[in-house]
């Protein structure tokens, strides 16, 4: 398998951006991935440090969030784009009010309102461990076939994408060491998916039952979590060696 692309999501559930070469640190998530998360009126724990995903806005509840793209500017501010909103460039730490106001119109009216922005330097990943998510193009193609049509890879909000052999073979990496570029990883566990993946990342509308497509394979998993075991740099084109 070969690494084909790298993606991070500066604000949890809100936006995505592609990356070139990335320096990975032992035991850390992808740099800049899910550093911020947006709290809501029902938030009970926003840190400091990692907190459960129920405390923040999520695509499973607000599918329109899936259509947001992001770009981290040179000065550290984040630019957010959505088909139904004007572009916003803001400092997620200092301009939380601007981000909340920008998101409010695309958040469902019947849910607790966005209230602020929390920060976690190790990343608000879905699991407490600062793991990196890895996905395979062949498996994505298998799910496309089961779903009956093309799907954007951004439904899965993954970090690393691999091109290579047959579908589902990436699950063979669970509990095994492997290397991508200059980094050694340990495969940890499959990622169980939710309704967030049903939303089209271009429109923010739920249009495909991805969970039903996954269940045709007798599970609801797509991709796997891996832990970085060494420092190093990865870039598209690096081979995966197991």
Q: What is the pLDDT of residues 99-139, one digit of tens each?
A: 999 999 999 999 999 999 999 999 999 999 999 999 999 99
Phi, psi of 241, deg, nearest 5:
-120, 120
pLDDT higher than threshold 90 for residue 190 = yes
**pLDDT value at residue 122:** 93
Question: How many CA within 13 A on the CB side of residue 85?
Answer: 26
- Kindly report the CATH number assigned to the domain that includes residue 170: 2.40.33.20
- Shared domain for 177 and 223, answered yes or no, is yes
Q: Provide, rounded to the nearest whole percent, the portion of the chain with pLDDT above 70.
A: 100
**Residue 108 domain boundaries:** 36-119
Domain-ending residue, one of 51, 86, 119? 119
* Residue that is written with structure tokens 């495969």 in the block: 187
**pLDDT value at residue 147:** 98
Domain-ending residue, one of 76, 91, 119? 119
**pLDDT value at residue 239:** 97
* Residue that is written with structure tokens 């049903």 in the block: 198
Q: Which two tokens stand for residue 105?
A: 């119109």
- Shared domain for 22 and 55, answered yes or no, is no
Quick one: DSSP state of residue 139? Answer: H
- Shared domain for 107 and 202, answered yes or no, is no
Long-range contacts of 93-97 (CB under 8 A, 24+ apart): 93/36, 93/117, 93/119
- Shared domain for 49 and 16, answered yes or no, is no
**Across residues 144-152, what is the average pLDDT?**
98
pLDDT band at 60 (very low <50, low <70, confident <90, very high): very high
Rounded Cα distance between 184 and 232, Å, is: 8
pLDDT higher than threshold 90 for residue 165 = no
- Shared domain for 144 and 86, answered yes or no, is no
How many folded domains does the chain comprise?
Answer: 2
Which one, of 152, 165, 145, 159, lies nearest residue 217 by Cα?
145
Q: Provide, rounded to the nearest whole percent, the portion of the chain with pLDDT above 90.
A: 99
Rounded Cα distance between 130 and 183, Å, is: 15
Distances (CA, A) of 71 to 78, 162, 207: 6, 22, 26
**Across residues 167-185, what is the average pLDDT?**
97
Rounded Cα distance between 112 and 171, Å, is: 37
């Amino acid at each position: 398998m070969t690494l084909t692309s790298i993606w991070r999501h500066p604000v949890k559930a809100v936006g995505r951006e592609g990356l070139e070469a990335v320096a990975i640190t032992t035991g850390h998530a992808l740099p800049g991935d899910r550093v911020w998360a947006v709290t809501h009126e029902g938030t009970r724990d926003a840190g400091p440090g990692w907190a459960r995903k129920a405390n923040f806005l999520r695509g499973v509840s607000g599918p329109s969030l899936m259509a947001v793209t992001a770009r981290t500017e040179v000065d550290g501010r984040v630019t957010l784009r959505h088909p139904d909103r004007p572009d916003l460039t803001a400092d997620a730490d200092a301009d939380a009010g601007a981000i909340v106001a920008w998101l409010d119109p695309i958040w469902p009216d019947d849910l607790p309102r966005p209230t602020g922005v929390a920060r976690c330097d190790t990343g608000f990943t879905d699991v407490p461990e600062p793991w990196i998510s890895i996905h395979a193009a062949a498996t994505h193609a298998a799910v496309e076939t089961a779903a009956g049509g093309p799907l954007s890879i951004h439904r899965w909000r993954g970090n690393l994408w691999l091109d290579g052999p047959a579908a589902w073979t990436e699950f063979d990496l669970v509990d095994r060491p492997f290397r991508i570029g200059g980094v050694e990883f340990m495969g940890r566990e499959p990622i169980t998916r939710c309704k967030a993946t049903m939303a089209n990342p271009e429109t923010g509308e739920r249009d495909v039952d991805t969970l039903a497509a996954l269940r045709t394979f007798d599970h609801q998993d797509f991709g796997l979590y891996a832990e970085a075991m060494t420092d190093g740099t990865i870039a598209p084109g690096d081979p995966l060696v197991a």
